[in-house]
Each structure stands twice: as structure tokens, then as C-alpha cells.
């Protein structure tokens, strides 16, 4: 549990929280986006970043440390003065350079002391990022080194600077979970999930979900988690829903340098844009043709500004969705923008127990917007609760009206399935569903029927369904009598 990390609102595994940063005498609202400031190359003046919504930025202490001029200035005046920004500053340690170039020339003690000396608000030890798909032997060897470095970091006196405890473990969920449990035991402060960049760059979002959920299981719910490298706004909603609190964006500048324009639905190339699909100041004041004709530096700056605007707008949308309780609806919307995001969302939903344990029992109206909605934690929670009911005698489960011939009459609402009349007007059974709800919703409802029937062997059930497909009816136990409400019944005698 990190002291000074207070959760205000929760939805799925996502949360809006306040992270206290003692050295800055500030709190940062999470989910937070940290623009990456490259001390050697300024795309946007860091002093302007708060105007976009940045409360926290990240820079690389290793680059500062290994560049004489930067190091001397940072030691003399502090890193805030060096960058010209008064937000909270997180410093990375050079682990990324270690992964890229294989070797760096500082130890964890040195780099932490340096980060402390230049006034970083959050520092980072030199962990060892293991690339995805590395074999188990290598992952374990790298983890042993990271473990030592974290223990060293925990023992170093860094005053009131918060310290990151990166969680590695490659693409082995069990190793990630164990590494996270070890890190959480060291009483450090912020927990980055490391080496996700290659997975994110390759759009391997399902693997990212596996890795993050494994880390979350080891860390427990009470600590802030940073998904290193998650800078594309199209995946913020998914990343928040899996319980990540901090994201960093180098993307805003790197993409701009390449004439790439970020949107919440993916990336566009400036040359392909006929009009700017965005309401930010850059896009309302310019058109693509004008921007294409600008000098390189001006074009890069304007695109970077747009990229920041669209990123912070999505971040605010994610926060509002968590407050409102419709984060999963937002994730579903974003998942429609890219197949890899849809894979990631499905992988998240498959983690039923982990998701359900965190998800609030009551929130805003449940909107059924896609077949994936049938796998949401509200549905699995309702199914589990069905086992608690004790029913006797003749029971009608119906999508139609009540009938007097039965001792007990329950409604059936896809995707949840059966529920007692007393719950008709309670969350999530007040769900807005499309008509027809479709096969996935009917199959989920059938699973609910099966759970209830199996828990009540002595009762005798009739299911009156509205034209369910065979794939749903196959899930209903054979002992249940079926009535198809969509088939016209015999006309009554006149």
C-alpha cells in the first residue's frame, strides 16, 4: 500500500485517485499522462505543458547524468530549472538505454543519489527490462538482477523523493506476478510495469493485458501503477480499465516528427488528411494543407500540440468515465477502432474473477453496446449470485409477462438471465439493450438460467424465451421445459 495514494472512484480495475508527491508538496490526479521531456531535444517548451493538462512530466536522468553540460546545470540549479517546468518531475534511470544499447555506466546507488541531488520528485533504480518472448532462463536471470537493484533502492536514503519499483518478468505472467509481489514488499512508492514498449509498439494489446493483470495480482489494489510506454490515446481507456494509473507519452513528439497525427481511433498521416477531425485549437485554426506547407520545425510543433491536446482530452474522458461508471462502455467504443484493442478488451474480460473483485456493484446504467458486453463483470457477478437463491415448486422464467399457473415467476433479461421481480429496477438489470439483443446476450442469459437451475435441483423450471437460437438453448439444462414466445400461439376461441 502506498501512503498518499487515495482512490476517489473506481470502475472495472480503473480508478481515479490522488497521488501525494511530498517533495513537490503536490498531489497528482490519476490516471495521469506524463509527457516525456527530452532534455536534448525540445519539441514543445516544457513550461507550456501544464496548459495542456500536464501535472507531471517524465525525463531521463541517465541522459542528464551522461551529458556534462546538462549534468552540471541540473546539479547547480535542479532539474525543474533545467527543464523550465514546475510540475512534478519523474526521472527514469537509463534502463531503457540499457535495453537498447546493452550497457550503461551507472549503478543504482549512483543514479538514485543523482536523481535525489537534482531534485527529482520520483526517481527510478536501474532495473533490467527483459524483451518480450525472451526464454524463461533469461527472464529469471534478469529478474534476479532487478530484485537486487530494488532491494538496493529500498535501502538508499533518498529523502522525500518517491521511488519507482519497476516490475519486470517478460511475457511470463507467473514471473511478473512473483516480481510484483516482491516489489510490493519493499515499501517503495510507484510501480511501473516495465518492458511493455515492444508489446505496445507491435499492437500486442492482449499480451499487455496479461502482463499488467499479472503484475496487478502481485501488487494488490492499493498502489499506483505506471504502464511504461503507453502513450497512444486510443489505448488509455483499456489501460485504465486494467488498473494502470500513470502513462507516459513520448508519442506526442515522436509521432509529430514523422508527420503523424494521433486520434483516439488510431494514427493518421498528415498527407492523408483532407480535414482535421478534432476540436483542439491547432485543428480549428489550421487546415491540413496549410500545416503541410509549414517549415519542418513549425509543422512538428503544431502536430505535437495537437497530439498532446487529443491525448489529454482522452485522459479527461477516461477519468469522467470512471466517475460516471461507464469506463467499460468507453473501452468498448475504443475497441471498435482497432482489432488489436478488441483482442485486448476480450482478454481483460476473460479475467473474470480479477475484474469482478474490483468492479463496483452499482454504477450508472449498463449499456449493452456489443457482443463483448455479455462478458462484463456485472454479468458474471449476477450469474454467481443466482446460486444463492433457493426455489421450490413450479418456476416460470420468462422474457414475457407473468403467468398465474406458476408458484414463482421470474423475469429473464439478457445478458443477465433470470432474476427475481424485486430486482427488476436495480442495477445492472435496468440495462439498456438493443432489440434484438443478439446471440451473445442470449447465450449469456442461458448460462444464467443454467446456474439457477443447477442450484435448485428440486424445483421444476419452465423457460419462456423470445426466439433464442439453438446455441443458447443448448446451454439450458434438459430438465427445463421450453416455450418459445416468438412462435405465434394458437388463436383463442371466439
Taking the C-alpha atoms of residue 162 and residue 151, their distance in angstroms, rounded to an integer, is 15
Closest approach, Cβ 30 to Zn ion, in A, equals 24
> Binding segment for Zn ion among 168-176, 276-284, 350-358, 423-431 (CB under 5 A)?
276-284
Between 306 and 338, whose beta carbon lies closer to Zn ion?
306
Closest approach, Cβ 231 to Zn ion, in A, equals 16
> Binding segment for Zn ion among 25-33, 298-306, 360-368, 447-455 (CB under 5 A)?
298-306
Q: Is 280 in the site for Zn ion (CB under 5 A)?
A: yes
Between 99 and 264, whose beta carbon lies closer to Zn ion?
264
Q: Which of 72, 77, 81, 92 is catalytic?
A: 92
Q: Is 81 a catalytic residue?
A: no
> Binding segment for Zn ion among 187-195, 231-239, 300-308, 379-387 (CB under 5 A)?
300-308
Short-list 77, 179, 196, 60, CA closest to 122: 60
Q: Is 308 in the site for Zn ion (CB under 5 A)?
A: no
> Binding segment for Zn ion among 37-45, 138-146, 216-224, 302-310 (CB under 5 A)?
302-310
Between 73 and 265, whose beta carbon lies closer to Zn ion?
265
Site string for Zn ion, 234-273 (x = CB under 5 A): ----------------------------------------
Closest approach, Cβ 43 to Zn ion, in A, equals 16
Among 74, 215, 278, 291, binds Zn ion (CB under 5 A): 278
Taking the C-alpha atoms of residue 240 and residue 32, their distance in angstroms, rounded to an integer, is 10
> Binding segment for Zn ion among 69-77, 154-162, 279-287, 459-467 (CB under 5 A)?
279-287
Closest approach, Cβ 242 to Zn ion, in A, equals 27
Closest approach, Cβ 258 to Zn ion, in A, equals 17
Closest approach, Cβ 297 to Zn ion, in A, equals 19
268 and 261 Cβ atoms separated by less than 8 Å? yes
Between 149 and 306, whose beta carbon lies closer to Zn ion?
306
User: Could you tell me which residues come within 8 angstroms of residue 64 by beta carbon, excluding any fewer than 6 positions away?
Assistant: 39, 70, 71, 74, 79, 82, 91, 118
Between 282 and 331, whose beta carbon lies closer to Zn ion?
282
Between 118 and 262, whose beta carbon lies closer to Zn ion?
262
Give the count of residues interacting with Zn ion (CB under 5 A).
Answer: 5
Closest approach, Cβ 264 to Zn ion, in A, equals 11
Among 21, 79, 283, 374, binds Zn ion (CB under 5 A): 283
HEC assignment per residue over the chain? CCCCEEEEEEECCEEEEEEEEHHHCEEEEECEEEEEEECCECCCCHHHHHHHCCCEEEEEHHHHHCCHHHHHHHHHHCHHHHHCCCCEEEEECCHHHHHHHCCCCCCHHHHHHHHHHCCCCEECCCCCCCCCCCCHHHHHHHHHHHHHHHHHHHHCCCCCCEEECCECCCCCHHHHHHHHHHHHCCCCCEEEECCCHHHHHCCCHHHHHHHHHHHHHHHCCCCCEEECCCCCHHHHHHHHHCCCCEEEECHHHHHHHCCEEEECCEEEEHHHCCCCCCCCHHHHHCCHHHHHCCCHHHHHHHHHHHHHHHHHHHHHHHHHHHHHCCHHHHHHHHHCCCHHHHHHHHHHHHCHHHHHHHCCCCCCCCECCCHHHHHCHHHHHHHHHHCCCCCCCEEEEECCCCCCCCCEEEEEECCCEEECHHHCCCCCCCCECCCCCCHHHHHHHHHHHHHHHHCCCCCEEEEEECCCCHHHHCCCCCCCEEEECCCCCCCCCC
Closest approach, Cβ 278 to Zn ion, in A, equals 3
Q: Is 358 in the site for Zn ion (CB under 5 A)?
A: no
Among 306, 383, 447, 465, binds Zn ion (CB under 5 A): 306
Between 268 and 484, whose beta carbon lies closer to Zn ion?
268
Binding stretches for Zn ion (CB under 5 A): 278, 280, 282-283, 306
Active site residues: 92
Amino acid at each position: 500500500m502506498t501512503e498518499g495514494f487515495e482512490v476517489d472512484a473506481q470502475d472495472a480495475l480503473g480508478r481515479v485517485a490522488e497521488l501525494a508527491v511530498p517533495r513537490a508538496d503536490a498531489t497528482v490526479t490519476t490516471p495521469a499522462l506524463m509527457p516525456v521531456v527530452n532534455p536534448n531535444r525540445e519539441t514543445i517548451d516544457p513550461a507550456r505543458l501544464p496548459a495542456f493538462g500536464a501535472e507531471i512530466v517524465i525525463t531521463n536522468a541517465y541522459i542528464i547524468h551522461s551529458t556534462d553540460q546538462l549534468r552540471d546545470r541540473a546539479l547547480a540549479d535542479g532539474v525543474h530549472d533545467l527543464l523550465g517546468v514546475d510540475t512534478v518531475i519523474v526521472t527514469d534511470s537509463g534502463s531503457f538505454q540499457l535495453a537498447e544499447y546493452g550497457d550503461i555506466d551507472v549503478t543504482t546507488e549512483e543514479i538514485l543519489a543523482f536523481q535525489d541531488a537534482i531534485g527529482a520528485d520520483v526517481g527510478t533504480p536501474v532495473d533490467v527490462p527483459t524483451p518480450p518472448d525472451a526464454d524463461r532462463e533469461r527472464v529469471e536471470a534478469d529478474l534476479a538482477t532487478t530484485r537486487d537493484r530494488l532491494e538496493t533502492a529500498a535501502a538508499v536514503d533518498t529523502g522525500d523523493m518517491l521511488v519507482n519499483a519497476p516490475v519486470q518478468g517478460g511475457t511470463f505472467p507467473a514471473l511478473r506476478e512473483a516480481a510484483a509481489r516482491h516489489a510490493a514488499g519493499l515499501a517503495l512508492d510507484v510501480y511501473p510495469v516495465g518492458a511493455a514498449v515492444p508489446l505496445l509498439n507491435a499492437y500486442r494489446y492482449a499480451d499487455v493485458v496479461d502482463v499488467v493483470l499479472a503484475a496487478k495480482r502481485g501488487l494488490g489494489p492499493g498502489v499506483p501503477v505506471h504502464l511504461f510506454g503507453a502513450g497512444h490515446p486510443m489505448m488509455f481507456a483499456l489501460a485504465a480499465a486494467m488498473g494502470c494509473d500513470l502513462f507516459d507519452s513520448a508519442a506526442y513528439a515522436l509521432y509529430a516528427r514523422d508527420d503523424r497525427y494521433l486520434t483516439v481511433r488510431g494514427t493518421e498521416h498528415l498527407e492523408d488528411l483532407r480535414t482535421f477531425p478534432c476540436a483542439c485549437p491547432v485543428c480549428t485554426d489550421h487546415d491540413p494543407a496549410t500545416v503541410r506547407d509549414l517549415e519542418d520545425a513549425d509543422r512538428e510543433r503544431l502536430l505535437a500540440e495537437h497530439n498532446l491536446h487529443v491525448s489529454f482530452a482522452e485522459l479527461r474522458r477516461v477519468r469522467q468515465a470512471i466517475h460516471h461508471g461507464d469506463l467499460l462502455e468507453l473501452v468498448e467504443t475504443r475497441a471498435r477502432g482497432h482489432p488489436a484493442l478488441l483482442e485486448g478488451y476480450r482478454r481483460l474480460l476473460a479475467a473474470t474473477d480479477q475484474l469482478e473483485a474490483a468492479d463496483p456493484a452499482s454504477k450508472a446504467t449498463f449499456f449493452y453496446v456489443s457482443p463483448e458486453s455479455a462478458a462484463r463483470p456485472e454479468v458474471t457477478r449476477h450469474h454467481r449470485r443466482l446460486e444463492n437463491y433457493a426455489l421450490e415448486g413450479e418456476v416460470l422464467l420468462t422474457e414475457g409477462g407473468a403467468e398465474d399457473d406458476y408458484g414463482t415467476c421470474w423475469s429473464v433479461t439478457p445478458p443477465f438471465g433470470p432474476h427475481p421481480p424485486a430486482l427488476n429496477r436495480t442495477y445492472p438489470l435496468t440495462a439498456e439493450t438493443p432489440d434484438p439483443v443478439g446471440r451473445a446476450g442470449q447465450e449469456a442469459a442461458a448460462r444464467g438460467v443454467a446456474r439457477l437451475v443447477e442450484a435448485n435441483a428440486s424445483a421444476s423450471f419452465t423457460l419462456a424465451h423470445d426466439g433464442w437460437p439453438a446455441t443458447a438453448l443448448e446451454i439450458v439444462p434438459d430438465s427445463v421445459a421450453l416455450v418459445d414466445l416468438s412462435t405465434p400461439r394458437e388463436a383463442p376461441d371466439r
